[in-house]
Amino acid sequence: MKRQLVLENGASFIGEGFGSNSDMKGEVVFNTGMTGYQELITDPSYCGQIVTMTYPLIGNYGINRSDNESGQPSISGLIVKEIAKKPSHWQKDKTISEWLEEYDVPGIEGIDTRKLTKIIREYGTLRGKIVSADADPNEVAEELKKWPLPTDQISRVSTKSVYVTPGSGPRVVLVDFGAKQGILRECIKRNLDVVIVPYQTTAEDIAKLHPDGVLLSNGPGDPKEVPEAVEMVRDILGKIPVFGICLGHQLFALAAGANTVKMRFGHRGVNHPVKNLRSGKFVITSQNHGFTVEKESLKGTDLEVTHIAINDGTIEGLRHTKYPAFSVQYHPEASPGPDDSQDLFDEFLSMIETNKKEGAQLA
Amino acid sequence: MPKRTDINKILVIGSGPIIIGQAAEFDYSGTQACQSLREEGYEVVLVNSNPATIMTDTDIADRVYIEPLTVEFVSKIIRKEHPDGLLATLGGQTGLNLAVQLHHTGILDELNVQFLGTNLDSIEKAEDREKFRDLMIELGEPVPPSEIVTTLEAARNFVDNVHLPVIIRPAFTLGGTGGGIASTAEELDTIAENGLKLSPVHQVLIEKSIAGFKEIEFEVMRDANDGAIAVCHMENIDPVGIHTGDSIVTAPCQTLSDRDLQHLRSVSLKIVRALKIEGGCNVQLAQDPHSDRYYIIEVNPRVSRSSALASKATGYPIAKVAAKIAVGYHLDEIKNAVTGTTYASFEPTLDYVVTKIPRWPFDKFDDAKRTLGTQMKATGEVLAIGRNFEESILKAVRSLENGTLHLELKETAEMSMEDLFNIIKKKDDRRLFLIAETLRRGASIEDIWSCTQIDRFFLTKIANIVAIEKALEAAPKDEQVLMNAKKHGFSDWKIAQCWNSTETEVTAWRKERGIHPVYKMVDTCAGEFESETPYYYSSYEDENESVVSKRESVIVLGSGPIRIGQGVEFDYATVHAVWAIKNQGYEAIMINNNPETVSTDFSVSDKLYVEPLTLEDVMHVIDLEKPKGVVVQFGGQTAINLASGLAAHGVNILGTTLDAMDQAEDRDRFEQLLLKLHVDHPAGDTAFSTEEAVKIANKLDYPVLVRPSYVLGGRAMEIVYNEASLKHYMDHAVLINPDHPVLVDRYLVGTEIELDALSDGENVYIPGIMEHIERSGVHSGDSIAVYPTQTLSDQVKQEVVDTAIKIARGLHVVGMLNIQFVIHQQHVYVIEVNPRASRTVPFLSKITGVPMAKVATQLILGEKLEKLGYETGIHPEPNRGVYVKVPVFSFAKLRRVDVTLGPEMKSTGEVMGQDVTLEKALYKGLLASGMTIPAHGSVLFTIADKDKEEALALVKRFYDIGYNILATEGTAAMIAERNIPVTVVNKIGGSTPNLLDVIRHGGAQFVVNTLTKGQRPARDGFRIRRESVENGVVCLTSLDTTEALLTVLESLAFQTECMPQMDDRSIDRKVANLEAGVSR
């Protein structure tokens, strides 16, 4: 069935529908990863977004049971050049189309995705809607212009209740703003005793759990939409070691007095080089963010830039100069993407250990 | 770290001649490296033996040496130049091996020459099988169970434990020479024994076969700061078992999940870090299609064919960056040349599908064993880009120029389903085409999968191509169906076939409906960043990104894949044409599809289109660009073949007119022209039947040269000496019919010479005349060419020059011209006129200093010779110095191919030798071509009757310089008659040691064999020649080449004559008396 994607600027792309046939609005973003579609579709950070993949053949290895980053697709829609009808892989469970239909996520294939990508590059992220092919694009564009981008994504994807994955190592509270499974997996791999808590948990409640460290997860949307979380981070800073990832990084920056701004079209892909300013080395990272910490806003804060994006110089990592706390804008847990930076979890762990020892000495 | 300042002068080693397994990719990487180093202010000294390369142009390096790539000569250069650093990881396996040898001689340490880039220790760790295995075990990375053996016995023992099949790979050989898969005990013996012999260190690796696994390659870069990235990953459509150089490859990987891919990427990075690679590295891995098990296959610690492919597939210039890393830069300090804004430390991401298909020489070598295995056989490759797999692979198929424009072969018409499956199982070069055919006839994907293990993903795509064919057939002139077919890469030619229409009609119908391709940019980042790479591919999409500039443009057609008869020389010429066009102020646009070459480096032309060189695909570019005209003279036969079609579409062919080209190609018109110009040529006629051929031959007198009229390049051309042979040829070698007559020409024995000329239609400048060592009858590309001429009288030379000028004027040539002559009894005959750039352009340009391709391009664009400073006549020959161009063959890699030199070209590359005398130049040339020239040893003669007289003189000379003479019975008897000591060797099949034993066990250093087709002992002759080639023994099939070698040996030999006896007659008499007494 022919369907179309309409952008707020009136541009329309007609292609063949797959997945569900429902109409869906969202912020249209592009991702440059050539594989890893299942991981990103289920990455809660994409909540509310229509994702276009720049690689033209998507779904080649199907959908399997082991690569989900959350319980279900998070995206609002998927735009590709060609969707695989007959995927081939030993782990394949179903096709993308079958899977998205199950979860009522619409998709379109057969459009010039490179043209779409270039529009996003030029104009910045745009609102868009997947509708039937005979809808009037101008009408849809008008509707989109009036449509306020949703702000409640974090509450939609965060856990509703506290749960625990026990381990014999230090206790870490993972504040779930839409945490990827990968973060939890890395914690479990290191034997951490993880308590996962909802995004609006207060510092007081966290302290009651007696954590050795607090991990601020990734998540969708604007960090300023969750001021309660910023407050929580401010309260625990200096008391408990903190490690922030992606949205967690932005929340950490806001809590320390810096500012965040929306980027034109963000970083989404698995090929972004990041330089570690302390070691002078770089790594290739997996990224997915539409906001960034404003460089100028660091003045007067106790934050130090530890990592920058080599391509555009934006901040990719921060460290608190007084307290045990650091963060990265990218995804050390990978999935999808390169696992070059998994040692950051070890760094967090050793920060916890050092802090424990220092604490013991003080006592 | 910024660049190193402790070094100033760098020696770069090239890769030598083009051979199977080492082709034009190293001209591309070497050129990039030299330019990259000079950009940084280093003084670059280059050594390479291959004149047919851009890298050996004097403006690519500060000083260029075209000398043999041997320890002896490169050491001389090192002593003369005193470089501070040596860069050897850009010259293929040849460059790397030479660097290792140089190191072992101690010269590098002695003169304090530093090894740049990946260090020697790392190279040895990666190259030496055992060291590499140890490293993998240390890293905990899986390698297939294997063992390094140095004897056949040990090989057998290993197989007792791991069971067949096993893969055998000799250590330190190019393109897997001598390797193979053994499935039976017999095969094990043959392959292992051969492999042991071919390995310079007498080692082979025997390894449990993991055939059927997916073969994955990663192109990785690492800098001295341990920064490492994966530039590109590629998936071989053919599973493990076929050499990656012979595999159809797609980039990026299509069937791996992110988990699989990241795993293999991490493993690759871990390996290059452990090896401490500084530069580019290729990692080959095998992934189990049924689990997450994987194995490391091998690592190449240098830039390679795959890295050239990856560079062209992604736009990331691996060799250039590798050179920067070698002088100290870190990846995050090097700008990405494509975007200009990002850095070399990022991993390219593609938004298109790339397909590479190898180009095999089996169209030239009918007899060659065409099954594919661990030994590479392709001479070249093509690359195509599309927005889906079908489009990408169909464009690649069209680029091959193998007689088809679609996934189909004519020959399948007579094959049954069973035949098809049998060939598919045997894995030969036709596999892809035959798979499509079985699907067409209703085979299931499962059937094909079960006998090929080609991933179902790819088979599904091929099935989709077949489904589109059926849809086209079912619905002619359905716009939707047509659009879908075009989107999936179908040519108008194929659509016409499905519609029962003509290509012209389909094209017109399609254009009326506004269906035409757009061009997308290759930008390394999938559109994420703005970039200005002028590198495009076509696709049936929405948005066109190729903006036509206001400047007037000229299109140069490239020469497509490297194949026998059309080598890197043509790429050289097209690149120079592009540069000259830019110089003249036009926008230069290149169309080509060969990923190995300099011409497809997007920084060479103003705009590069990677497209098949077919009329339809080229016309699409022309429709968009509306150029001033198209230059076809430099792209070999590929470009020439397109000329008439383009002209028919109203395209302006720049330079020599189409009519003139036709006059030179069409036999009748050519004869008329020569007649008019009073130029002689060998008499001949056209035969439409065997009887006619016999009649013509009788009139001309034997020997005669016979060839089919419809093929070019000397294919199926033969010299026949009598009626019986002629009849045999007519009945067996060619299919004669009214459409395909056979040309019968008088075969004139004599000296063959050729020249290249530049002409503006009025004035004609001849840069030089080259004399061939081998007499007429040997293809010019396979002959040793000498400049200046050595045996021609001034009078003959003048006649040749006059003739050339007459012909150039007669044809109104504007641009380049190549003429071949035979000098028969002091008389000049023209054999061939090619109004286009020839194979000798780079050689002659380099040695005379006349930039031929550049001047020709200027002429084509309307300049006049006089204005450029050239008057009609010949370029003065030098007083000093002799230059030879020696052909290089790849026979060891092509089983069952007869190595005899003849009218059909067989060489894959060339080298140059230069020195003050012919002997010295020949010595260097022969050495550079790979020949070992020992000062003593044995020569084995097996000579055809017709050659015996002539051969005897050579036998005598070999004997005189101390060589032992071996011969088979007949030849030996004749030699003995001349009182030359000779050892008789038993014939093949005779008691041991026989001929083959002698060759196999190093009993002869040279084999001289002139037994050819059409003669009784042809089979034996063939076996002798093959045995020689496969055992690395120099085999000479031309007495002229033999004599050339002899003159070299004689010049090297010191006489060892015993002192004359004292002339004391009384003693003599006493002795005589004594003897008389004894006998009495």
The ipTM (two decimal places) reads: 0.96
User: Contacts of residue B345 in chain A, CB cutoff 8 Å?
Assistant: 273, 282, 284, 310
Contact between B110 and B79 (Cβ < 8 Å): no
Annotate B539-562 with three-state secondary structure: ECCCCCCCCCCCCCEEEEECCCCC
Same domain, A137 and A168: no
Annotated catalytic residue A331: yes
pLDDT of B736 > 70? The answer is no
Q: What is the DSSP letter of B1059?
A: P
Mean of pLDDT over chain B: 92
Tokens 């829609």 locate to: A77
For residue B1069, the model assigns a pLDDT of: 54
Query: Per the CB < 8 Å rule, is A91 touching B257?
Result: yes
Annotated catalytic residue A16: no
Same domain, A199 and A322: yes
Q: Which candidate from B226, B230, B254 shows the least CB-CB separation from A60? A: B254
Cα B538 to Cα A250: distance, rounded to the nearest angstrom: 42
Q: Which candidate from A38, A89, A339 shows the least CB-CB separation from B255? A: A89
Binding-site entries of B for Mn(2+): 284, 298, 300, 820, 832, 834
Cα B489 to Cα B484: distance, rounded to the nearest angstrom: 9
% of chain A exceeding 90 in pLDDT: 97
Structure-token pair, residue A39: 């991981």
Contact between B570 and B636 (Cβ < 8 Å): yes
Query: Per the CB < 8 Å rule, is B349 touching A32?
Result: yes
Q: Among B6-10, B575-579, B945-949, which stretch is predicted with the lowest mean pLDDT?
A: B945-949
Q: Which candidate from A36, A54, A336 shows the least CB-CB separation from B527? A: A54
Measured between CA atoms, the residue of chain B closest to residue A277 is B332
Tokens 């040895």 locate to: B124
Query: Per the CB < 8 Å rule, is B529 touching A311?
Result: yes
For residue B1015, the model assigns a pLDDT of: 45
Structure-token pair, residue A334: 């990978």
DSSP letters, A273-329, are EEEETTT--EEEEEEEEEEEE-SGGGTTSSEEEEEEETTT--EEEEEESSSSEEEES
For range B419-429, the mean pLDDT: 95
CATH of the domain at A124: 3.50.30.20
Q: Among A256-260, B509-513, B734-738, which stretch is predicted with the lowest mean pLDDT?
A: B734-738
Closest CA of chain A from B216, distance in Å: 15
Structure-token pair, residue B55: 């890298």
Q: Which candidate from A67, A272, A340 shows the least CB-CB separation from B257? A: A67
Cα B618 to Cα B555: distance, rounded to the nearest angstrom: 10
Measured between CA atoms, the residue of chain A closest to residue B454 is A88
Same domain, A189 and A325: yes
Same domain, A217 and A111: no
- Torsion angle (degrees, nearest 10) of CA B241, B242, B243, B249: -120
Same domain, A94 and A11: yes
Structure-token pair, residue A12: 């329309």
pLDDT of B920 > 80? The answer is yes
Same domain, A331 and A218: yes
Nearest to B274 by CA among B287, B283, B286, B263: B283
Q: Tell me the H-state helices in A93-199.
A: 96-102, 113-123, 137-146, 153-157, 181-189
Helix (H, G, I), strand (E, B) or coil at A219: coil
pLDDT grade for B365, boundaries at 50, 70 and 90 = confident
> Residues A267, A289, A307, A331: which is the catalytic one?
A331
Same domain, A143 and A288: no
Query: Per the CB < 8 Å rule, is B258 touching A64?
Result: no
- Compute how many other C-beta atoms are within 10 angstroms of the C-beta atom of residue A72: 14
pLDDT of B254 > 80? The answer is yes
Same domain, A28 and A91: yes
Measured between CA atoms, the residue of chain B closest to residue A115 is B543
Same domain, A85 and A176: no
User: Contacts of residue B460 in chain A, CB cutoff 8 Å?
Assistant: 85-86, 88
The dihedrals phi and psi of B391, each to the nearest 5 degrees, come to -60, -45
A/B interface, count of CB pairs below 8 Å: 152
Domains of chain B (ranges; CATH) run 9-119 (3.40.50.20), 145-209 (3.30.1490.20), 355-515 (1.10.1030.10), 519-654 (3.40.50.20), 932-1052 (3.40.50.1380)
User: Which amino acid belongs to residue B532?
Assistant: E
User: Contacts of residue A338 in chain B, CB cutoff 8 Å?
Assistant: 262, 265-266, 347
The end-to-end CA distance of chain B, in Å, is 95
Query: Per the CB < 8 Å rule, is A338 touching B332?
Result: no
pTM score of the predicted model: 0.94
Q: What is the DSSP letter of B366?
A: T
Which position has the higher pLDDT, B596 or B533?
B596
Query: Per the CB < 8 Å rule, is A33 touching B266?
Result: no
pLDDT of B43 > 50? The answer is yes
Last residue of a domain, one of A149, A173, A201: A149
For residue A305, the model assigns a pLDDT of: 98
User: Contacts of residue A334 in chain B, CB cutoff 8 Å?
Assistant: 262
Contact between A248 and A257 (Cβ < 8 Å): no
Cα B24 to Cα B597: distance, rounded to the nearest angstrom: 5
pLDDT grade for A362, boundaries at 50, 70 and 90 = low
CATH of the domain at A165: 3.40.50.880
Q: What is the pLDDT of residues B644-674, one digit of tens each?
A: 999 999 999 999 999 999 999 888 899 999 9
Measured between CA atoms, the residue of chain A closest to residue B254 is A60
Same domain, A102 and A223: no
Same domain, A191 and A322: yes
Cα atoms in the 13 Å half-sphere on the side-chain side of A271: 25
Helices B568-583 and B841-848 cross at an angle (nearest 10°) of: 60
> Residues A39, A69, A246, A267: which is the catalytic one?
A246
Query: Per the CB < 8 Å rule, is B258 touching A337?
Result: yes
Last residue of a domain, one of A149, A181, A201: A149
Distances (CA, A) of A62 to A135, A350, B345, B448: 31, 39, 31, 21
Closest CA of chain B from A270, distance in Å: 8
Query: Per the CB < 8 Å rule, is B456 touching A338?
Result: no
For residue B993, the model assigns a pLDDT of: 81
Measured between CA atoms, the residue of chain A closest to residue B291 is A90
Closest CA of chain B from A282, distance in Å: 6
Last residue of a domain, one of A97, A124, A149: A149
Closest CA of chain A from B542, distance in Å: 6
For residue B1016, the model assigns a pLDDT of: 45
Structure-token pair, residue B370: 């065409």
Same domain, A145 and A160: no
DSSP letters, B712-776, are -TTTT-EEE-SHHHHHHIIIII---BTTB-EEEEE---SEEEEEEEEEESS-EEEEEEEEESSPT
Query: Per the CB < 8 Å rule, is A271 touching B348?
Result: yes
Overall domain count for chain A = 2
Query: Per the CB < 8 Å rule, is B255 touching A311?
Result: no
Q: Give the containing element (helix H, strand E) for B480.
A: helix B479-487
- The backbone region for B367, taken as left when phi is positive above 0, alpha when psi lies in -120 to 50, beta otherwise, is alpha
Q: What is the pLDDT of residues B133-171, one digit of tens each?
A: 899 999 999 998 888 899 999 999 998 888 788 988 887
Cα A223 to Cα A260: distance, rounded to the nearest angstrom: 8
Contact between A52 and A161 (Cβ < 8 Å): no
For residue B162, the model assigns a pLDDT of: 81
Query: Per the CB < 8 Å rule, is A32 touching B225?
Result: no
> Which domain does A8 fall in, by range?
2-149
Closest CA of chain A from B469, distance in Å: 19
User: Contacts of residue B290 in chain A, CB cutoff 8 Å?
Assistant: 90
Q: What is the DSSP letter of B876?
A: P
Annotated catalytic residue A82: no
Binding-site entries of A for L-glutamine: 45, 219, 221, 247, 250, 288, 290-291
Closest CA of chain B from A115, distance in Å: 6
